[in-house]
Amino acid sequence: MNRISCDVIKDVLPLYYDNVCSEATRAIVDEHIAECEACRDLLQKMSIDIALPTEGVEQYKREGMELQQIAKRWNRSKLIAFAKGLIIATSICGILILGYVGLFKWNFISAPTDVFEITDVSQRKDGNIYFQAAQTDGYDLNRVKYTLTDDGNFYMTPLRPVVKSKHQQKLGIFLIGNYNFDVKQQSASRNKEIQAIYWGTPEDRILIWEKGMQLPPASEEVEAEYNN
């Protein structure tokens, strides 16, 4: 044991630490702590505690955790905001694409029959119905849909999108096509006997041919076109 008890040193240690003790006290403490590990530890602990008081450490830890939580929350809300943004952006893109396709590309509006001319309706030697379809309003025709209804009416429906485009050639009339309609084959492939062929829709139609109708014979040119 040391000459001076640890209790005494413990009492003066704060003074020693704050450097407000007498030289004599300082010398005694120095001498004591040189040999007493317990008091040396106490002094060391004192300096740590003063540098970072226990309460303060706890508080910093708490605040640190709060900050972490705030950061986590913020990161999460940032992620949610990003996800929302992504969904909104994707939706807008989707709507724009749908809108574009819907307005410009989706051919679902049937063009009125009064802008079409069906000409050269005739019957070829093999029995096929021949005709030409042309349109006169200067717009593009994007699609012709074929529908065979239950009553055996075959509709060739010209379709356009909502926003129609001008025909590139800017001709007053442009030929959609020459049709060489094989009634027997079409009936067989659709498992129903075709009774009539119309251009248009059930509400707005041009009759091209119906069963029993006598058509003029096709011209030599037409026969030659399909017989090579």
Cβ proximity to Zn ion, 6 vs 134, nearer residue: 6
Q: Closest distance between Zn ion and the C-beta of residue 41, in Å?
A: 10
Listed ranges 8-16, 58-66, 101-109, 151-159: which one lies at the site for Zn ion (CB under 5 A): 8-16
Which of residues 13, 28, 29, 39 is near Zn ion by CB under 5 A?
39
Q: Closest distance between Zn ion and the C-beta of residue 4, in Å?
A: 8
Listed ranges 35-43, 68-76, 84-92, 136-144: which one lies at the site for Zn ion (CB under 5 A): 35-43
Q: Closest distance between Zn ion and the C-beta of residue 30, in Å?
A: 12
CB 160 within 8 A of CB 109: yes
Cα three-residue angle 185-187-193, rounded to 5 degrees = 145
Cβ proximity to Zn ion, 39 vs 208, nearer residue: 39
Which of residues 13, 28, 29, 36 is near Zn ion by CB under 5 A?
36
Q: Closest distance between Zn ion and the C-beta of residue 49, in Å?
A: 18
E-assigned strand segments in 21-173 = 109-110, 116-123, 129-135, 143-148, 153-160
Q: Which tokens in the block code for residue 167? A: 């025909």
Q: Report CA-CA distances (Å) from 62 to 49, 53, 59.
A: 18, 14, 5
Sorted by sequence, the CB contacts under 8 Å of residue 60 that are 6+ apart come out as 52
Q: Closest distance between Zn ion and the C-beta of residue 7, in Å?
A: 8
Residues 83-142 contacting Zn ion, CB under 5 A: none
Q: Which tokens in the block code for residue 150? A: 């239950």
Asked whether position 159 contacts Zn ion by CB under 5 A, the answer is no
Listed ranges 32-40, 52-60, 177-185, 204-212: which one lies at the site for Zn ion (CB under 5 A): 32-40
Residues touching Zn ion, count (CB under 5 A): 4
Q: Report CA-CA distances (Å) from 139 to 112, 144, 162.
A: 12, 14, 12
Sorted by sequence, the CB contacts under 8 Å of residue 166 that are 6+ apart come out as 138, 139, 140
Binding site for Zn ion (CB under 5 A): 6, 9, 36, 39
